[in-house]
Structure 1
Amino acid sequence: MTLADLLASLFPSGHDIHVDKGVLVGSARLPDGSDALVLGVTDHAPIGVDEAIVLAKAVMDSIDRGTGPILVLVDSGSQRMSKRDELLGLNEYLSHLAKALILADLKGRPTIGILYGHSAAGAFLATALATRVLVAIPGAEPAVMDLPSMSRVTKLPIEVLEEKAKSTAVFAPGLDNLAKTGAVYAVWGDRTSLDRQLGALLAAMPDTVDRRGALGKERGGRTLAADIAARVRHAGLSGARD
């Protein structure tokens, strides 16, 4: 889906969104008549320090200016792996962007990621996965790490990882597998306009408790994460009381 098609279906009542070198920032009218901050990345653009700071500033500037949701539209490459970006501390810029989105959510600005194209690695983590809820358009192509990269990191032959990917979602990139792990809350259908699906999501928005682990357990893609996280939280609370 192109950005123009996405915006037309999401915001039939109009929007004021500007794109500059792959970074989009603006506002849009929602189905209930209220306004939302809209930002993100388009055209498979990588996210470097320049892009990350522009997006983070838009989020931070908006926190005390209203109560509407923040929609993060994502069609990116990975993080920009250039010498300049690395020397300037790209990891800190990406972390700042992710924390800005989390802070906005906790301050009453519900954050929704809408993955409509490609995204990978640090760019995916700092945008789509930093929102309270991530939905995807059919055909989206997310990958936290592709199998060749995973093979280099784990030192396991790619054939072994390909075999594991057939039965274990955490070893496999792709939209279906990310949905099974709970990282993708829902995949929107193509028989209903996106503005109606967005309106339904906003009307039934999950609370700020991270449900990715629970969804992964329900869907069979990540069966242990929720229970382990609960044990860690319980141990932490017990230690604090002691």
Structure 2
Amino acid sequence: MDTLIGQGLVALEMIVDPGSFQRDVVGAKQFTDESYGPGAVVGTAKLAGETVTVIASDAEAFNEKFPVVYAGIIGMEEGYKMASAVYASIAADADKPATKKRPLVLVVDTPGNGPGKVEEIFGMNKSTGAYQLALAEARLAGHPIVAAVVGRAISGAFLCHGLQADRIVALDAKFGTMIHVMPLTSVSRIIKKDIEVLEELSKSNPVFAAGPQFFFKLGGVEALVPEIADLRGVVVAQVAELRAAKAKGEATGPQGRAALGAARGGRVTRPQVAAKMAAEFAAVADTYRPQTT
């Protein structure tokens, strides 16, 4: 096997314990309507003997109600379905201590969101926002969340299905793995720079580049997986590390990646800008605080 692009379900089965995946069941919730959000795969499995919630995209599914949702695209229904699976996980472990909250494993292979006009009118942004919020709430409640990029992690779909995880791991680029917020062709149109200029910048500047190696340097990916056979072991190890990190109160998720990017030399200016903004705000903060009598 030389790639897992379009094979998210295969990757899912490779990560979890053999034969343990139960589709459409998360805690007390059962997803019985097969026509609702067919591009989203949710369920429960075992990972090294531990109960986990698994969320993935099905590249072979097609949402007949929304024709732009196919090939792993996360549409409006898919976003809500994924969010529901997260909230079902939170509810299932509500009475457990933080150290016993079930992990969530996100299998990421998506070319983007469903950008159809109907979805936009109905509230596509609310759907993806709901999923992001659900993951953030689960992460802050103590659930270890690991996103495994096995194919494409593109644009807004990666924002809702990946970037809110505690840790992100990605297969090496030699397997066709692709991560980017926006293709250079789109960047060129927006900032009015020739594509040749941006292509040259992408060779040395990770901000303009795409791919797991560049996102690793930016701190957006915590670990690169050199071989497909290593994927399961890396995810298991990340869950164990997250348990320890959360117990110590260490920053994980988006907060932790900022420092990681600076340490790796990919985001050296960000801390300086953040410090300057904080200083400028502190200088005028008293002016905007409510006055007490």
Superposition TM-score, scaled by structure 2 size: 0.75
The answer on whether the counterparts of 1:106 and 1:208 sit within 8 Å (CA) in structure 2 is no
The Cα offsets for residues 42-101 of structure 1, whole Å up to 9 and x where unpaired, read as 324111211101101111121121211111111112111101111112122211111110
Counterpart of 1:131 in structure 2 is 165
| Corresponding residue SS for 1:211 | helix
Q: Is the 8 A contact 2:40 2:58 kept in 1?
A: yes
Single out whichever of 146-155 and 14-23 deviates more from structure 2: 14-23
Cα distance 1:94–1:164, how it changes in 2: closer, same or farther (>3 A)? same
Are 2:72 and 2:109, in contact at CA under 8 Å, matched by a contact in 1?
yes
Tell me the equivalent position of 1:49: 76
Offset of residue 7 of structure 1: 2.9
Q: Deviations over 1:165-218 (max 9, x none)?
A: 111101111111111111111112328643322222122124444221222112
Matched, 1:68 2:95: no
Q: Which runs of 5+ in 1 are unaligned?
A: none
Compared CA separation, residues 62 and 235, structure 1 to 2 (3 A):
farther
1:9 aligns with 2:14: yes
- Which deviations, in whole Å up to 9, do the C-alpha atoms of 1:92-111 show, x marking residues without a partner? 22111111100110011121
Alignment of 1:59 onto 2:111: no
TM-score between the two structures when normalised by the length of structure 1: 0.89
Give the 4+ runs in structure 1 shifted more than 4 A. Answer: 230-238
Whether the aligned pair in 2 keeps the contact of 1:169 and 1:221 (CA below 8 Å) is: yes
Answer 1 or 2: which has greater strand percent. 1
1:99 counterpart residue number: 133
Which residue type is aligned with residue 186 of structure 1?
A
The letter for the 2-side match of 1:127 is H
Aligned pair count? 241
Cα contact 1:17–1:24 (8 A) shared by 2: no
Tell me the residue number matched to 1:171: 208
Instruction: Work out which of the two has the higher radius of gyration on C-alpha atoms and give 1 or 2.
Output: 2
CA gap 1:190/1:59 in 2 versus in 1, 3 angstroms: same
On the 8 A contact 2:146/2:238 being kept in 1, the answer is no
Correspondence list, 1:61-210, <5 A: 61-66=88-93, 67-138=101-172, 139=175, 140-190=177-227, 193-205=230-242, 206=245, 207-209=250-252, 210=255
Instruction: Extract unaligned runs of 5+ from structure 2.
Output: 25-33, 60-70, 94-100
Quote the Cα distance in structure 1 between the aligned partners of 2:180 and 2:267.
16
CA contact (8 A) 2:8 2:56 kept: no
The aligned amino acid for 1:76 is T
Contact 1:10 1:193 in 2 (8 A): no
Q: How far apart, CA to CA, are the structure 2 residues paired with 1:38 and 1:160? A: 41
3-state SS of the aligned residue for 1:78?
Answer: coil
Aligned to 2:273: 228
Task: Give identity over the alignment, percent.
Answer: 31
